[in-house]
Amino acid sequence: MESILKITNLTVSYAAGFGRKKLAVDNLNLEVAKGEIFGLLGPNGAGKTTVIKAIIGLLYPQGGEISLFGSTPPTVVDRGKIGYLPEVSTYYWFLTPEELLKMYGKICRMDKSELLQRIDYVLNLVDLTNEKKQLIRTFSKGMQQRLGLAQALLHNPEFLVLDEPFSGLDPIGRVKVRKVLKELKKENKTILLSSHELSEAELICDHICVMNNGKILKTGAMEELIGEKGQESLERYFLSVIGGGA
C-alpha cells in the first residue's frame, strides 16, 4: 500500500483563555492510502477540522508527526500537491468565478494557457460554466460551495483534502459533487474528507474513521466496520460507536 498521508501521535491544543488549554486532537494516528476516499467522521467539536488544518499546515501541532507523500515533515512542494476545501470559504464578492480562479492560479504560478483551460474544466466539473462571469456576491450557499471545490481542483492536485464538501448542497448538488469525487477517484487521486452527511459518506468512502473528543474510536474499511456491528447503515453504525441517538 502506497501511503499518501501518515499521521503519528498528532496532538493539538488551543488556548482556551485564562491560561487554560483545550485539547482538540489527542495522540491521533491515521493513514490514507493512494487512490482511496477516506472519510473523517465525528460529531461537532470532535476535532476533524483541527486534524485537517494540521495536514494543510495552517496550525502548528504540539506533538506528533505528519508525513505527506512519504516525506516527514512535508515540504512546500508536498503541500503544493494538495487541493484544499476549507470548512468556510470566504471570497472577494466583487469578483467573478473566472477572475477568482485566475487570481488563485497566478498565486500557484500556473502556466497561463494551462490556467485558462483548467478554469473552464473545473467550472464545467462543478456545473458553474454558465455563471463563469457572474459576480460571486450573487451566489447561493450551494454555488459558493461548488466554487470552493473548483478552486480546490484548479491546480490538478494529487491529494484532495475537503472539509465538509457536502455542506449547504441540495440533493442535486450533492449528487453532482459525489460524481466529481468518484471521477477523481477513477483518476487515482486520493481524497480525505470530513462530513456530517453520513449517507453521502457511505456512498463514496472506502475507509472511514470515527472520532470524538480528539481521539479515533474506530477506523477501517467501510464495509468491514458496518458489518462488524451488524448495522444496516453508516448512520446507525456511527451512532452505536458515538453512543448517541436512536
Ligand X SMILES: Nc1ncnc2c1ncn2[C@@H]1O[C@H](COP(=O)(O)OP(=O)(O)OP(=O)(O)O)[C@@H](O)[C@H]1O
CB 60 within 8 A of CB 98: no
50's contact among Mg ion, ligand X, none, with CB below 5 to 8 A by partner kind, is ligand X
Residues 121-160 that bind ligand X (CB under 6 A): none
Q: What single DSSP character describes residue 2? A: -
Residues 6+ apart with CB under 8 A from 174: 166, 197, 200
The alpha-helical segments, DSSP class H, found in 26-96 are 48-56, 76-80
Cα–Cα dist 237/228, whole Å = 9
Binding mask 50-89 for Mg ion (x = CB under 5 A): -------------------------------------x--
The correct pick among 1, 2, 18, 44 for binding ligand X (CB under 6 A) is 44
Q: What single DSSP character describes residue 72? A: S
Of the candidate spans 40-48, 109-117, 126-134, 137-145, the one that interacts with ligand X by CB under 6 A turns out to be 40-48
Q: Which cell numbers in the block locate residue 90?
A: 470566504
Phi then psi for residue 187, to 5 deg, are -80, 10
The correct pick among 5, 49, 207, 225 for binding Mg ion (CB under 5 A) is 49
The residue (of 49 and 151) whose beta carbon lies closer to ligand X is 49
The correct pick among 4, 32, 46, 55 for binding ligand X (CB under 6 A) is 46
The correct pick among 4, 28, 37, 49 for binding ligand X (CB under 6 A) is 49
Q: Give, for 32, the enclosing helix (H) or strand (E).
A: strand 21-33
Residues 2-31 that bind ligand X (CB under 6 A): 14, 16, 22, 24
Residues that bind ligand X (CB under 6 A): 14, 16, 22, 24, 42, 44-50, 87
